[in-house]
Amino acid sequence: MAGQKIIDENGTIFEVYGLVPNGRGLLNGISSLLVHGKFEGNIVNLVDEPKGVTNEN
């Protein structure tokens, strides 16, 4: 999951830096994603990028 990009409801793109198991929630398949910045909303959409294309500044 690290390196995958996700997008929030406002269209802001975040890179996932890690996945943290969430104790008891893990039994229900719940984990937390580590991203830099403030993620808005409750919906996580994965961003599909063509292979070989990066979004580096």
Angstrom distance (rounded) from CA 41 to CA 10: 8
Domain boundaries, the chain: 5-46
CA–CA dist 50, 40 (Å, integer): 25
CA Rg, the chain, in Å? 13
pLDDT < 70 stretches in the chain:
1, 22-31, 49-57
pLDDT of residue 56: 52
Q: What is the pTM of this model?
A: 0.54
